[in-house]
Chain A
């Protein structure tokens, strides 16, 4: 069973690392109802900044803050393009992502590896002092879990504040926000800033975990995030005590679990994506079955 445990550990770790990105998409897609394509650019942006900082000897914990800051700027760019320049939501994200692709290449080149000797948040002294007794594999799980938990609690708190409620109101009913004498544009920009800060943070920890940045690592992250959010919220749709943020983490873990299953299935390597797609479909169908079952009883 040692193998299974290890595999479960690394899959959970992946799920947690990418859950930070899924939080971001949860805010834009599920709460703000804003299809934010900035993600494919802000994710590698966080990784690029992290890789460059780490190779130049920066404190690994500070790179988390740096990634949050640059991610927030990326979100701000999309928000301002959309709100001030009146560019449509999808296009605003596309513009920022396209620009970020070049920017990422400028920052970190096409590929940058962080050597084993360089400390990451998983190997730096403060982490080692707390969890030094574990092997790297389990340390990665614990650190990523703590990060996800911390941000989940922060987000849950934030959604209860006045500002957080406004964010939800913009997604549900824009007119209401206007009648409250609040500027819906400002709220949207704020949502995008928070979301992309989270996405870049995810890029930062993923970069530290796999010790490398590649310019193409952002491709398809938007699709992953959407799938994670939809899988998570579908599976837990009727469990009202499960918060959206928790559902999103579960969605991310399920997504990575499906890929892991497809890898394990031992089918021809080219069928990997097909197997993954079938697994997603099964999960979504199961989620929908729940819903119709409830209707029959009602």
Chain B
């Protein structure tokens, strides 16, 4: 009898805990819950701007670029003018790069009846879009390279793509290293962003007189081996994508390449800060702001996701790290220097 009792007790404890959690989050938005469908909610809110929007942010994992996206998104909401921090509430969740947890986070947003879901990175976007199906909650994504390939280009979903400015990057490398022939790229074969970027690199490299030597890895632990292999193949430089596994071990990659005297080009500002020589890349903070502004438009009922096609970053920046450049004895021509932003940490 005692055992049955304690087993029951466990169950009761767990469910009562769950009840506590959900009622507390429930209170936050019962005030804004006007109707059963979210569409009627946003319509009624457009008339009475004092109601609070509940926004669920699902971030796939902890990562400097993704963090910048999130901070930019919040800034974008404020920038859009219609909203102050009193107008919206954020439920921010981070899935720690776990697909199953991403799904559960998205489903808890749906249960909370959030007004809008913001999904950062592709797995978060697909999970949120699936969880939002039942209630047709709008999903705004960011940091997805290829929304068309991910089937996120139609329906009650839109956002921003972080497609790399590959041609600008090739142009930059050509300017800084006029004699270079072979660009080495390490990428993760299971990251959709990297796979589509590699395809574009291979298609466009010829136009700038480069050949691409690429190695696909399956895990972070294989990156340094791949870097060693490419160094021994004699590549003239490395170019990074926004590949989570590669960026995650960038420091040890740079250690090897610096020893071999091979410059590494980044794909966004954070990588240049860490010691890449230069990058023609995107600023994820700006991307986030752009996303936040789109979200505000959908929230206020100014437009709907269906009428708002996904956007790519309108401008890219050129970032340089002078210390790393001088170590590789690369001189930056004056016309590039004028456009470039110094991004070294020191």
Please give the residue numbers on chain A whose beta carbons come within 8 Å of chain B beta carbons, in ascending order.
1-4, 6-11, 14, 18, 101-102, 105, 109-111, 113-116, 135-137, 209-212, 214-217, 219-221, 224, 235-236, 238-239, 254, 256-261, 263-266, 269-270, 272-273, 283, 286, 289-290, 293-294
Among B7, B62, B111, B127, which residue has the most Cβ atoms of chain A within 10 A? B111
Q: Which one of B17-25, B315-323, B325-333 is at the interface?
A: B17-25
B224 interfacial by beta-carbon distance below 8 Å = no
B254 interfacial by beta-carbon distance below 8 Å = no
CA distance A215 to B149 in the complex (A): 15
A105 in contact with B189 (CB, 8 Å): yes
B4 in contact with A239 (CB, 8 Å): yes
Given B6, B23, B107, B127, which contacts A212 in the complex, CB threshold below 8 Å? B127
Classify the interface of chain B: helix, strand, loop or mixed: helix
- In the assembled complex, which residues on chain A have CB atoms less than 8 Å from the CB atom of B149? 111
B127 in contact with A261 (CB, 8 Å): no
For residue B98, which residue of chain A has the nearest CB?
Answer: A220
CA distance A254 to B3 in the complex (A): 18
B99 interfacial by beta-carbon distance below 8 Å = yes
A217 in contact with B6 (CB, 8 Å): no
A137 in contact with B6 (CB, 8 Å): no
B108 in contact with A260 (CB, 8 Å): yes
| A269 → B minimal CB distance (Å) | 3
Given B126, B150, B190, which contacts A216 in the complex, CB threshold below 8 Å? B190
B339 interfacial by beta-carbon distance below 8 Å = no
Mark B132-164 against chain A: 1 for CB-CB distance below 8 A, else 0: 011000000000000001111001000000000
CA distance A221 to B99 in the complex (A): 10
Q: List 15 A-B contacts (CB under 8 A).
A: A7-B107, A11-B107, A101-B218, A111-B150, A137-B110, A210-B103, A212-B123, A214-B99, A216-B97, A236-B7, A238-B3, A257-B14, A269-B59, A272-B96, A286-B6
Among B24, B123, B155, which residue has the most Cβ atoms of chain A within 10 A? B123
B192 interfacial by beta-carbon distance below 8 Å = yes
Mark B78-118 against chain A: 1 for CB-CB distance below 8 A, else 0: 00000000000000111111111101110110111100000
- In the assembled complex, which residues on chain B have CB atoms less than 8 Å from the CB atom of A216? 97, 99, 123, 190
CA distance A211 to B6 in the complex (A): 39
Given A7, A110, A217, A224, which contacts B192 in the complex, CB threshold below 8 Å? A110
A293 in contact with B25 (CB, 8 Å): no
Given contacts A3-B111, A109-B192, contact A137 B134 (CB under 8 A): yes
Among B2, B3, B123, B131, which residue has the most Cβ atoms of chain A within 10 A? B3
Classify the interface of chain A: helix, strand, loop or mixed: helix
B261 interfacial by beta-carbon distance below 8 Å = no
- In the assembled complex, which residues on chain A have CB atoms less than 8 Å from the CB atom of B95? 272
- In the assembled complex, which residues on chain B have CB atoms less than 8 Å from the CB atom of A224? 100
B99 in contact with A286 (CB, 8 Å): no
CA distance A220 to B190 in the complex (A): 16
Given contacts A109-B192, A116-B155, contact A264 B21 (CB under 8 A): yes
A135 in contact with B134 (CB, 8 Å): yes
CA distance A264 to B108 in the complex (A): 8
Among B4, B22, B122, which residue has the most Cβ atoms of chain A within 10 A? B22
A263 in contact with B96 (CB, 8 Å): no
A136 in contact with B94 (CB, 8 Å): no
Given contacts A238-B3, A239-B3, A263-B108, contact A14 B25 (CB under 8 A): no
B18 in contact with A273 (CB, 8 Å): no
A105 in contact with B18 (CB, 8 Å): no
CA distance A204 to B96 in the complex (A): 23
B130 in contact with A239 (CB, 8 Å): no
Given A2, A264, A269, A290, which contacts B6 in the complex, CB threshold below 8 Å? A290
B3 in contact with A211 (CB, 8 Å): no
| B131 → A minimal CB distance (Å) | 8
Given B15, B18, B21, which contacts A266 in the complex, CB threshold below 8 Å? B21
CA distance A9 to B135 in the complex (A): 15
B309 interfacial by beta-carbon distance below 8 Å = no
Given contacts A216-B99, A259-B101, contact A7 B22 (CB under 8 A): yes
The 3 closest A-B pairs by CB, nearest first: A264-B21, A269-B94, A215-B190
A7 in contact with B108 (CB, 8 Å): yes
Q: Which of B4-39 contact A (CB under 8 A)?
A: 4, 6-7, 10, 14-15, 17-19, 21-26
| B164 → A minimal CB distance (Å) | 16
B25 in contact with A259 (CB, 8 Å): no
